[in-house]
Amino acid sequence: MNITDALKRPWFHSIDLGSGVVTRGRFGADVPPNYTLYGLQDLLRHVDLREARCVDVGTMDGLSAFMMKALGAREVVACDLARRPTFEFARERLGLDVEYRVPLCANELPEAVGEEGADVIVIAGVLYHVYDPLTVLMSCRRALRRGGLLFLETTSMIDDGRPTMWFNLSDDVP
């Protein structure tokens, strides 16, 4: 795929591909790109990832996976339920050695990561897409080595005093 064709595809993240080429991402021009991940990105910049084994669960276009690799992670595994040509294009364009495992369900993570476990797991924008978020968190915990870090990003709702679970079937659902 060439750059012109790649930029015509729908991108979930805004990714700087170098040489002045930046993908649009899912937000309109009136919303800052990747604003939902600002906190995560800031936290990751303050963690020493050199020699770390990292996993990005629900990677989409790979923004968090690529950031961890660029910050010096020894190994980065990016996983998702479906293959995205945008991830593969960005990985090649950026020249980053990030392993891509698809399809991979979060409950398969402990077996996929193996006994060594992961030093860092990022799970951003995933929990509100699953029927059983607790099982996903338990799988991430089992895949994390002792002393490892789990970075969780999700949406929240203003508490109206009632127990609530919100399930978002797709990105097109408000």
- Predicted pLDDT of residue 37: 87
Residue 166: both structure tokens together: 């919100």
Q: Give 92-145 as a DSSP string.
A: HHHT---EEE-S--GGGHHHHH-TT-EEEEEEES-GGGSS-HHHHHHHHHHHEE
Q: Dihedral of CA 16/85/29/46: which sign?
A: negative
Neighbour tally for 40: CB within 10 Å: 20
Per-residue model confidence as pLDDT tens digits over 48-82: 999 999 999 999 999 999 999 999 999 999 999 99
What pLDDT score was predicted for residue 164? 67
Give CA–CA dist 68/62, Å, rounded: 10
**Predicted local confidence at residue 59, as pLDDT:** 95
Q: Which two tokens stand for residue 173?
A: 């659902």
Average pLDDT for runs of 10 along the chain of length 174? 84 90 88 86 93 96 96 97 94 96 93 95 90 92 96 77 63 47
DSSP character at residue 34: T
CB 114 within 8 A of CB 77: no
Give the pTM: 0.86
Please report, for the chain, how many H helices and E strands are present, in that order. 6, 7
Amino acid in the structure at residue 53 = R
122 close to 64: Cβ distance less than 8 angstroms: yes
DSSP state of 73: B
Structure token digits, residue 14: 């805004």
* 133 in Cβ contact with 104 (< 8 Å): no
